[in-house]
Structure formats: C-alpha cells, structure tokens
Amino acid sequence: MFYFWQRILFPLSILVIISLMLWLIFGALPAVLFFAAVILLYHLFHLYQLLALEHWLTDPEQRTIPDGRGLWEEVFAKINKVVRGHQKERAQRMAALQHLEQATSALPEGVVILGEGDRIEWCNPLAEKYFGLSSEHDIGQQITYLARQPQFVEYLAQQDFAEPLILRGMSPEGLILSIKLILYGEAQKLLICRDITRFEHIETMRSDFVANVSHELRTPLTVVNGFVETLHDMPSLENEMARRAIHLMGEQTQRMERLVDDLLTLSRLEDKQNPLHEELIDAPALLRTLHQEGLSLSAQQHNVILKIETDLPLSGNYDELHSAFGNLLSNAIRYTPKGGDVVLSWQSQNGQPAFSVRDSGIGIDPKHIPRLTERFYRVDKSRSRETGGTGLGLAIVKHVANRHHAQLLITSEEGRGSTFSIIFPAGRVGLVDAKFNLVDEK
C-alpha cells in the first residue's frame, strides 16, 4: 500500500512543483496549459491500461496478461496471481469431477442426478441406455418428459421412496429395472436404476419349480393317504405294530399334504403377476368364523376368547386374510399348553384396524423374533414336528400383510406367551351399512 501511494504522490508533487515554477517564470497560462496537458496524458495512459485489462479479461485462458507500467504493473501482477489461482482450483475441481464421472460410469447401475423440478443434471451411460437419455442434449430437461412410463411418473409424484419401484418392459429387450430414489441437498435426488431381469427370471423359475413340484406331489399324496386310511379302517388288521405304523404313515402323509398346500399358497402370494383382488370384508364376522375354527382345533383344551372392540370393516382379500389370521390362531393353540388362554382380538389403534392373537404359551426368546417369518425357520425343531407345523405359516402371514400394506408386529416373553398383531393402514377401513354387535365370548 505504501508503494502504491508513493507511485501516486511522488509524480504529483513533481508536477505541482514544475507548474509553480512555470507560473513564476512565464505566468499563469503556460503553467495551466502544462498542468492540463500532463493530466490529460496521465489519464490517457490509465485509459490505455484499462482497455488492455478489459481485452485480457474477455479471454484470460488464451491471452497473455498485459505488461503494466507504473501503478498498473503491481495491479496486473496481483490480478494475474488471483486468476491463475482460480484457474488452478478450477482445473483441480474439473479433474476431480472427471474422476468421479469415470468412477460412476463404471458402476453396474444407472445413475441420474436430478435437480429442482426433477430436471436432469447429469447421467451415466447405463442410465442413458435404460431411459433413452442423452447427456449432450437432455441436460436440464425434466426427466418425466423423457421417461414417460405411468408407474415412474406416479412414483416421482408420490414422493414416497421408501421402497424401490420395479419397472418392466423398459426396452425392446424387455428389461426389468429396480428404481431407487435418494433425496439429498435441498431439492436434489439421486436416481439409481439396476437391471434385475436375470434375478427376476431366476426367481420366476424358482417359484414355478416350487409350484409345479407341489402340484405334482399333491396327486400321489392324495392316493397314498387314501390307501393309508383304508388300511387303517380294515377290521382284520389285528397287529398292533402294523396299526401303529399305518397311523404314523397317515399323520406324515397329512403333514406332507399341508406342506404342499402351504407351498402352493406361498407361491401364489409371491407371484408378482397375481394382483390383489379386494372386497369389503365384514371383519367381525370373519373373526367369529375364526373363533369357531379355533374352538374346533383346540378341542376344548384351551380357553379361546374372542374380543371385538370395534365394528370397523376391512378392505382386502377375504381368502388371504382368512389364511393369515387362521395361521396365527392355529400357531397360538399349538404352542399353548392345555388350559391356557388364546385371545383373538379385533380393535382400532389410532384409527388403524388391528388384528391380534395373544396366548399364554411357551413364549419365544427375543433373539429368534427377527427370523420367525423366514421359511422353515424353527425355534425348537423337535417341538415343531410334534405340533405338526410346516414352517411356512408365518412366511405366509408376512406376505399377506405386505400385500395389504400392513405391518406384522411380534412381542413375546419366554414362559409368559406371545402376541402376534397385524396393523392395517387407516385407508383400508371401508364403509358399510350393516352395524356389527360387539361381543366378548369364550
């Protein structure tokens, strides 16, 4: 700063001294003319430097900074230092961005960055392939103008990205994509799409295999079970060991039939091409039916109690809900000792219809609860065989709950019983004309 003022004050002082000397020697007019001429030249010099600076700033990347004189030498040097620093930072950012783009382009998923208004800010080559985009021409375009699948447009509009969206038939090759949107920043989204065509085909093959094998097993099992029942009822069969063997054969054949039925049910529930056929269900009436079935299954060995605390009907599939509720009820009866309580309930929790089965049975160690809905997962294998369970009941319950957008909750304590609840969303409450009577029966 001192240098700056020195470069201004020193020439100005010299100019004033010379002008005063000319005033004293030649009079006022020559002194004024000299002073004005010098000031004019001084301004022209600065104007020239400003024009040179403006010329350089129009393209600092390609042009060389002018050689300043006087005060401008230091100004140009500082500006050049700042500009070169910015250019270096910009080059580093561009290199980092290119590195990130190369890494993202190598990902096995398609990636699209969406800005405000779902406008495309960037996409990698796989995303271009999946959605038919162009990174050269479509940047700044709203993605729904280019990807017009109704499911995708609705998914974006709902703003609920908890679950991925499955899009089928995205190209002539029939690609199946899993779409996941992640919110970040103020109004930005990261769209990640993955080709799951192969996995879907494998899953379809697995489901078809299970369904076909189950169908093929059903006929011979029916025949075998029929002959076993015939042999068991023959009056001439006096050998106790033979009678015992035939009795066990009958039990195991029936168990295999139940297993086949559960496999077929699970296969239908997992079939994505099998839509949910809904109807308005008289839920209290359904629970009364289940109560009677529970009494029959228990054979008067348990206290099977029905509690209907609300008359809320339910929108859903009757057969699927009957199967899920029945599985929970039969599990409670099988794992509750004689004389224990099994409470079947229908109630409202904050406006949400809720079904629950509470028992006073053996209970479950909390460490097993997260895995209970896995196929064939058993807490106690020997006890499960004794009770005749197939190991698929809770898997069926979970799939039915998911198809009805409901939540399956399990609470249990060893030695004190368990409670299995299915909480339905409030939107599944229907409107009916009939009034249901609240009951509390044993």
153 pLDDT higher than 60: yes
pLDDT one-digit tens code per residue, 40-91: 777 777 787 778 777 777 777 777 777 766 667 777 777 778 878 887 888 8
pLDDT score of 440? 38
Phi and psi dihedrals of 175, rounded to 5? -65, 145
Q: What percent of the chain has pLDDT over 70?
A: 80
Q: What count of Cα atoms within 13 Å lies in the side-chain half-sphere of residue 84?
A: 9
Residues 266-306 have pLDDT tens digits of 777 777 767 888 889 999 999 999 999 999 988 889 999 99
Phi-psi region at 117: left, alpha or beta (left = phi > 0; alpha = psi -120 to 50):
left
In Å, what is the CA distance from 350 to each residue of 310, 353, 424?
12, 8, 11
CB atoms within 10 A of CB 357: 23
Rounded Cα distance, 170 and 131, in Å: 8
For position 161, what pLDDT does the model report?
A: 80
Q: Please check the confidence at residue 434 and state whether its pLDDT lies above 60.
A: no
Who contacts 352 (Cβ-Cβ below 8 Å, separation ≥6)?
423, 424, 425, 426
Residue 342 pLDDT more than 90? yes
State phi, psi for 253 to the nearest 5 degrees.
-65, -40
Residue 20 pLDDT exceeds 80: no
In which band, very low, low, confident or very high, does the pLDDT at 357 lie, cut at 50, 70 and 90?
very high
Cβ(167)–Cβ(151) below 8 Å: yes
Question: Which amino acid appears at position 150 of this protein?
Answer: P
Residue among 255, 243, 355 nearest 308 (CA): 355
Q: In the block, which residue shows the tokens 């002082």?
A: 13
Q: Is the pLDDT of residue 441 over 70?
A: no
Dist. CA 44–CA 66, nearest whole Å? 16
Tokens encoding 34: 């000299």
412 within 8 A of 363, measured Cβ to Cβ: yes
- For 188, phi and psi rounded to 5 degrees? -110, 155
User: Tens digit of pLDDT for each residue in 168-218?
Assistant: 876 666 788 888 888 887 778 888 888 888 877 777 776 777 677 766 677
Tell me: pLDDT of 438 over 90: no
Do 65 and 57 contact (CB within 8 A), yes or no? no
pLDDT at residue 10 in the model: 57
Q: What is the mean pLDDT of residues 313-335?
A: 91
